[in-house]
Structure 1
Amino acid sequence: MAAGFDIVAVTRDAPSAAATRHALAADAHGRTVHALPADLVDRDDVRTLAGRLRDTVGPVDVLINNAGAAFPRFSQTADGIERTHALNHLAPFHLTHLLLAEDRLAPDARIINISSDLVSRGRLDVDDPDVTGNSWRDRFSQLTVYGTAKLISLMTTAALAARLPAGMNAYSANPGVIKTGFNAKAGGLLKAVSSVSGLFAQTPQKAAHTPVLLATATVAPTPNGGLFTKGASVTPPKPALDPDLTTLVYERTARAIGVDALLPRQRR
């Protein structure tokens, strides 16, 4: 808000949306604040959210896909998707592509997908990448599945950047460990290590530095599609450096969601 943006926050349900809007409005300083409920593991809720955004605001200048969770055990959504992948990867991919298809992003829009230190734990079959997470049914590992979902999101962000209209940018932003209770609420191993990881956690205000920089820099940071942490571009994990693999993961994700994959700019 200090940067001059109106805000649309998205929370899981109506009570949390009302509380969030009240909290943000206290510091709005003349800016407009909306808060909309949506359960982003539900594909129908993502579609409904896209429609409500269309009816609530004009073109979106900055889209920050921040919702995430590391579920402690294997479970599928109503759409048949492993929940960690549904929330951390498929939901932001889906929402972004719905807004693009409806021309709801500003010509110079910036799309920022929140990443994680745990992308280094991600594991992907490069010959047959699983973008829905269902292959983890009988070998579920909370940290590995979460890291894999974030890795796939990072890869599709890089692929998306090469397909966006000229002037738009997409980034992955790793805020590091944050004092939000994320680990403790996750359950499983993450809850067990939360007391230790909390010793190194940053305040939300400090952790927001990188995504805020990406959102507000006068000149769009480079590289488009890159991974940023501590305000600077860093080298992503090896799978994200393979353009053929990122393309495969991007196209499989589009098929899994049922949206049209964008063509690379040079092929238009």
Structure 2
Amino acid sequence: MSRRTAVITGAAGGLGQAIARRLLADGFDIVAVTRNARSAAATRETLVAGAHGHAVHALHADLVDRDAVRALAAQLRDTVGQVDVLVNNAGAAFAGYGETTDGMELTHALNHLTPFHLTHLALDNGLLAPDARIINISSGLMARGRLDRGEPDVTGISWRHRYSQITVYGTAKLANLLATTALADRLPGGMSAYSADPGVIRTGFHTKAGGLVKLASSLGAIMAQPPAKAAHTPALLAMAGTSPTPNGGYFAKGAATTPPKTALDADLATLVYERTARALGLAARPATAPRR
């Protein structure tokens, strides 16, 4: 069997590193993406210890920087040539409003715009294998998301004067799920895209977030899973012998699950997809499959 390669963003610890370990154990070569050179070196050293002869590469990029995302896509092409699984895991729920150098709200940039951007760059430069799987990490908090069905704000800047940490994070995750659904209808035949909800995780993510997300996590700590258990759903999507169905689906607890009603709005999904492409200066891909 030919060797498979998986790219995982946000792999310095927590869920991302747990997914990397699962995929290494399943025979994948891994490219772990972290925020800086120091964390990349430490992550590679940690993963190599359990690699059992499989390749471990570590790259770093500040994923809220659009130029850094472009540079990462080029590095991936030079490092591994082709990717079988792309796991867009990096994320954060910032406690207050902030903007990137491109004028995008930070939570939307990291949780929605960056995975969309990296995925499309990988598609455009031929990085993805013909049967590649794209797995975007979702969250149950998307049920708290708010998007105008006529004028959805995909960049988050409308939250400048009414910032609510949980709602903004949920909105970014909702936008990403909708865009993932629309992308699935626009992929070349053989490729697939999924949204994977790992559930509540016992990591430093919520503590670092601060604000209401930290409070909510402390109240729900008894329900939190260790990263190794939370990695089950995204790892299953990556490792399954045949591509899970439905393409574009939302998966939780290892199975396809019905998302909140707003996430099922096909017209909104198309609008979010097209507006996101436009915000990033990308060409929207035409639909190649019938709308679900």
Instruction: Give the TM-score band, short-chain normalised.
Output: over 0.9
Aligned to 1:181: 204
| Pairs within 5 Å for 1:174-253 | 174-253=197-276
Percent identical:
69
CA distance in 2, matches of 1:23, 1:197: 30
Which letter maps to 2:196?
Answer: A
Aligned to 1:54: 77
Say which of 259, 262, 265 aligns to 2:285.
262
* Structure 1 residue 216, shift from structure 2 partner: 0.7
Cα displacement string for residues 4-30 of structure 1 (whole angstroms, at most 9, x for unaligned residues):
110001001000000000000000000
Which letter maps to 1:148?
Answer: T
From the superposition, tell whether residues 26 and 17 of structure 1 become closer, same or farther in structure 2 (CA, over 3 Å).
same
Aligned to 1:158: 181
* Structure 1 residue 145, shift from structure 2 partner: 0.1
Cα displacement string for residues 218-268 of structure 1 (whole angstroms, at most 9, x for unaligned residues):
11111000000000111112222121111110000000011111100059x
More divergent stretch after superposition (191-200 vs 256-265): 191-200
Question: How many residue pairs were aligned?
Answer: 267
Query: Are residues 1:20 and 2:21 paired?
Result: no
Aligned to 1:128: 151
Which letter maps to 1:28?
Answer: A
Query: Are residues 1:10 and 2:30 paired?
Result: no
Say which of 83, 98, 121 aligns to 2:106.
83
Aligned to 2:16: none
CA contact (8 A) 1:64 1:111 kept: yes
| Pairs within 5 Å for 1:80-159 | 80-159=103-182
Which letter maps to 2:95?
Answer: P
* Structure 1 residue 61, shift from structure 2 partner: 0.1
CA contact (8 A) 1:239 1:246 kept: no
Which secondary structure state, in structure 1, belongs to the residue aligned with residue 256 of structure 2? strand
CA distance in 2, matches of 1:107, 1:34: 22
* Structure 1 residue 202, shift from structure 2 partner: 0.4
Which letter maps to 2:247?
Answer: N
More divergent stretch after superposition (238-247 vs 38-47): 238-247
* Structure 1 residue 179, shift from structure 2 partner: 1.1
Unaligned runs of 5+ in 1: none
From the superposition, tell whether residues 4 and 126 of structure 1 become closer, same or farther in structure 2 (CA, over 3 Å).
same
Which secondary structure state, in structure 1, belongs to the residue aligned with residue 136 of structure 2? strand
CA distance in 2, matches of 1:29, 1:135: 48
Aligned to 2:96: 73
Which letter maps to 1:138?
Answer: H
Which secondary structure state, in structure 2, belongs to the residue aligned with residue 6 of structure 1? strand
TM-score, normalised to structure 2's length? Answer: 0.90
Which secondary structure state, in structure 1, belongs to the residue aligned with residue 86 of structure 2? strand
Unaligned runs of 5+ in 2: 1-23
CA distance in 2, matches of 1:15, 1:63: 23
Cα displacement string for residues 122-178 of structure 1 (whole angstroms, at most 9, x for unaligned residues):
011111000000000111000000000000000000000000001000000000111
Aligned to 2:8: none
Which letter maps to 1:215?
Answer: A
CA distance in 1, matches of 2:260, 2:149: 13
